[in-house]
Amino acid sequence: MFNRRKFIKLSAAGASLATLSKYVVAKPLPVAGKLPIVISTWDFGVAANKEAWKTLEKGGRALDAVEAGVRIPEADMKNHTVGRAGYPDRDGRVTLDACIMDEFGNCGSVAAMENIAHPISVARLVMEKTPHVMLVGDGATQFAVEQGMKREKLLTPESYKEWQKWLRKAEYSPVMNIENQQKRPGGKYNHDTIGMLAIDSKGNISGACTTSGMAFKMHGRVGDSPIIGAGLYVDNEVGGATSTGVGEEVIRNVGSFLVVELMRQGLSPEDACREAVNRIIKKKPEIAKKIQVGFLAINKKGEYGAYALQEGFSYAVCDAKQQDLLIPGKSAYKDEKKDK
């Protein structure tokens, strides 16, 4: 997976990865960008946005853009927190969660789904082809296969190895910010979701959110990411929000819905995200100190912002002016565990 440290190293070495050298790390400002625009969580959002942009720049629909965009990290064999190469649960089963929401308030979701590499596309099919919002477990897999998707084994040899290592201690302790932790010995037991929000040239908003959830979670555990209102929410009159981090705390506060409602009341995207983070701190101050949760939001005008519990959160922005913008999120606490 691409991360900032790797980027600096590559740039210094004059690496030939021209695309990486174009990344711009910017200060977080609420920018009223021209539409269309797409934003998404974490550094891997840069590549995902790029894919989404192909649809947006042609005047395509935001819904198509977000589905295509998040399929990039879902397919990335180096990404162990989203899609096919995601780490398994404590029983060695890769279970995926995703949801999608369009400008009409339609939504679809799958949770704890096994053996299908692109949960976001199944979530969209749930939205478009069924009278339901959410399918889980075997039912979701069965539906995906009926819709023509390939049933495949998702546990990669690398994920299997990590799971075997984890089994030696079998300690469930999520570590913050995979991008800071990934190179540490034993620091791979992690989480991170792609949440993406796009506004198309007609001004319509859609969002998508997809994850393999917390690595080595209990079998059957579902986080915030596939839950409409928690991991993602879109209201075409107001804006959209998405979240990443320890899903239990996001669910407790119906985080993404809260952010959108706060924007409806007039808060800027960043202030709305900050308020949602503060709710988590207020309700569970002891837990809040130890975990990461980040919110990312965009309003109808295309202003965006983010806020996280801990340092280390980042998000990517792509519009006609800036294709590779990577923004470090503001945070409530310093991540004391960050690489020293």
Q: In the complex, what is the shortest distance from the CB of residue 195 to ligand ASP, in angstroms, rounded to a whole number?
A: 8
DSSP H or E stretch at residue 100: strand 96-101
Of the residues 72, 246, 262, 272, which one makes contact with ligand ASP according to CB under 6 A: 246
Task: Report how far apart, in Å, the C-alpha atoms of 29 and of each of 10, 267, 311 are.
Answer: 27, 14, 17
Q: How many CB atoms lie within 10 A of CB 59?
A: 10
Nearer to ligand ASP, 213 or 240 (CB): 213
Q: In the complex, what is the shortest distance from the CB of residue 238 to ligand ASP, in angstroms, rounded to a whole number?
A: 22
Q: Is 213 in the site for ligand ASP (CB under 6 A)?
A: yes
Q: In the complex, what is the shortest distance from the CB of residue 214 to ligand ASP, in angstroms, rounded to a whole number?
A: 5
Binding residues for substrate: 221-224, 244-247
Q: Is 193 in the site for ligand ASP (CB under 6 A)?
A: yes
DSSP H or E stretch at residue 232: strand 232-235
Binding residues: 221-224, 244-247
Q: Which 3 state secondary structure label does DSSP give 21?
A: helix
Q: In the complex, what is the shortest distance from the CB of residue 298 to ligand ASP, in angstroms, rounded to a whole number?
A: 18
Q: Choose, from 55, 193, 211, 242, the residue flagged as catalytic.
A: 193
Residue 338 structure tokens:
């960050």
Q: Is 244 in the site for ligand ASP (CB under 6 A)?
A: yes
Q: In degrees rounded to 5, what are phi and psi of residue 69?
A: -60, -50
Q: Is 245 in the site for ligand ASP (CB under 6 A)?
A: yes
Task: State how far the Cα of 63 lies from the Cα of 41, in Å rounded to an integer.
Answer: 17
DSSP alpha helix (H) spans, the chain: 4-12, 18-21, 45-56, 62-75, 119-129, 137-146, 157-169, 178-181, 247-252, 255-264, 269-283, 285-290
Of the residues 49, 79, 211, 310, which one makes contact with ligand ASP according to CB under 6 A: 211
Is 193 labeled as catalytic in the residue annotation?
yes
Q: Is 247 in the site for ligand ASP (CB under 6 A)?
A: yes
Per-residue x/- marks for ligand ASP, 224-243, CB under 6 A? Answer: xx------------------
Task: State how far the Cα of 175 lies from the Cα of 240, in Å rounded to an integer.
Answer: 27
Active site residues: 193
The residues binding ligand ASP (CB under 6 A) are 191-193, 211, 213-214, 223-225, 244-247
